[in-house]
Amino acid sequence: MTVKSTARARKKTAPSVPQSVGTDAQPELIQLLTPEGERVEHPDYPLETTPEQLLALYRDLVLVRRFDAEATSLQRQGELGLWASLLGQEAAQVGSGRAMREGDYAFPTYREHGVAWCRDVDPLNLLGMFRGVNHGGWDPNEKNFHLYTIVIGSQALHATGYAMGITKDGADDAVIAYFGDGASSQGDVNEAFTFASVYNSPVVFFCQNNQWAISEPTTTQTKIPLYRRASGFGFPGVRVDGNDVLACLAVTRWALDHARSGAGPVLIEAFTYRMGAHTTSDDPTRYRENEETEAWKAKDPISRLKALLEKEGIGDEAFFAGVEAESEQLGLRVREGVRSMPDPDPTLIFEHVYAEPHALVDEERAEYEAYAASFEGGENH
């Protein structure tokens, strides 16, 4: 059976592509919640939300921000070697993360702590790499959340291959590949677009355009709005307000359904902003203006949802106090968890190099062990 006929055998009809997703005119930024906290409707991306759902999203945003802040302080305290903060990108990550179904799979870069949160990955798992005790370490298949990938754009291909496998399985799942605006220039991301497009693979490319790739602005990566890249590859692209958790949720949900229906990939450009430094090693004052950061502060993802909740009278004092308490708890758990994270035994070096025995690794491990043992009880030597 061909890839296409497998897709057809699933006998589903693709949701129609919204009118505003196109190539000729630049569509508006899809927005369902204004920076002032006004709820607005979009004809193509209707979203019904119960008060409980809004409160749950608010809780996600607050806890994710808290986790991130805690990790940043832990880096400052020398407990982590490095941290890549998601500050400002909470809505893009929580909105898209909450749009996923259980069987869907996420392929993150290194900043998707909010997506990991939505996939129920223990936040402490994310810190091993930054503390230097492993290179990832968790089982990606446990929560359908792949390992962080440092080489820019590589994971877009892994996501696409995984999605090709979903098609072969005739399964109903979809994949999200996360990457940044800088990564959009990489060959691998463009090759992923080609593969996903020609094989109709159920993958949503979720580009968080946080305006900067370390010190390089998006204008160094592209002369056209990023979402429009998709049209050259033959699939829809859409730009969503990345600081609007509701719009990110609605658009990603639509895109995942579009992809899983057999209609092929979608590119979502979440238009957002990295409020902090690229990583804790970065100094953004060297390359960007304070006014720019201030302007984006007014679009903060959490305060705009809070404004909506207040306007609509959703959530009582007990709820907000509860979230506050929970976030204290989370901070404490992360702090203690990191501080008590043991260094691995040095023989970790030789573990999992291969799945099957490899003579050279076995030999070098034995050499190392003998060498290490020569230090124990040194007086005997």
Ligand X SMILES: Cc1ncc(C[n+]2csc(CCOP(=O)(O)OP(=O)(O)O)c2C)c(N)n1
Chain positions contacting ligand X, by CB under 6 A: 111, 150-152, 179-183, 208, 210, 212-214, 274, 278
Q: Which amino acid is at 367?
A: E
Residue 169 contacts which entry, another protein, ligand X, none (Cβ below 5-8 A, type-dependent): another protein
Closest CA relative to residue 90, chosen from 323, 302, 304, 292: 302
Place of tokens 């959530």: 315
Residue 181: name its binding partner from another protein, ligand X, none (Cβ under 5 to 8 Å by kind): ligand X
Within 161-200, the residues that bind another protein by CB under 8 A are: 161-166, 168-169, 187-188, 191-192, 194-195, 198
235 binds another protein (CB under 8 A): no
6 binds another protein (CB under 8 A): yes
Q: What tokens appear for 101 in the block?
A: 């179904």
Which of 133, 145, 224, 212 has its CA nearest to residue 180? 212
Q: Is 290 in the site for another protein (CB under 8 A)?
A: no
Q: Is 82 in the site for another protein (CB under 8 A)?
A: no
DSSP 289-329: -HHHHHHHHTT-HHHHHHHHHHHHT-S-HHHHHHHHHHHHH
The DSSP code for 219 is G
> CA–CA distance from 29 to each of 1, 19, 45, 305 (Å)?
40, 13, 12, 18
Cα 23 from Cα 232, distance rounded (Å): 9
Partner that binds at residue 161, options ligand X, another protein, none, CB closer than 5 to 8 Å by kind: another protein
Of 32 and 240, CB closest to ligand X? 240
Quote the least distance from Cβ 234 to another protein, whole Å.
Answer: 12
Strands (DSSP E) found in 131-220: 175-180, 203-209, 212-213, 216-217
> Crossing angle for the helix pair 187-198 and 154-169, nearest 10 degrees?
20
Chain centroid, CA 254 distance in Å: 18
**216 phi, psi to nearest 5 deg:** -95, 130
The phi and psi torsions of 357 (rounded to 5 degrees) equal: -55, 145
Binder to another protein among 49, 154, 200, 261 (CB under 8 A)?
Answer: 154
Closest to ligand X by CB, 125 vs 149, is 149
What single letter denotes the amino acid at residue 250?
A
CA atoms of 66 and 349, how far apart (whole Å): 33
355 binds, among ligand X, another protein, none (CB under 5 to 8 A by kind): another protein
Residue facing ligand X at closest CB distance: 180
Asked if 17 is part of the footprint of another protein (rule: CB under 8 A), the reply reads no
CB of 142 to another protein, least distance (A): 8
Residue 213 site contact among ligand X, another protein, none (CB < 5 to 8 Å, cut-off depends on kind):
ligand X
Segment contacting another protein (CB under 8 A): 42-50, 137-145, 250-258, 277-285? Answer: 137-145
* 141, interface contact from another protein, ligand X, none, CB < 5-8 Å by kind: another protein
Helix (H) / strand (E) containing 194: helix 187-198
* Sole window of 144-152, 215-223, 264-272, 301-309 interacting with another protein (rule: CB under 8 A): 144-152
Candidate list 22, 35, 140, 337; residue touching another protein; CB under 8 A: 140
Count of chain residues binding another protein (CB under 8 A): 48
Q: Which residues of this chain interact with another protein, rule CB under 8 A?
A: 1-3, 6, 134-142, 146-147, 149, 151, 154, 156-166, 168-169, 187-188, 191-192, 194-195, 198, 351-356, 358-361
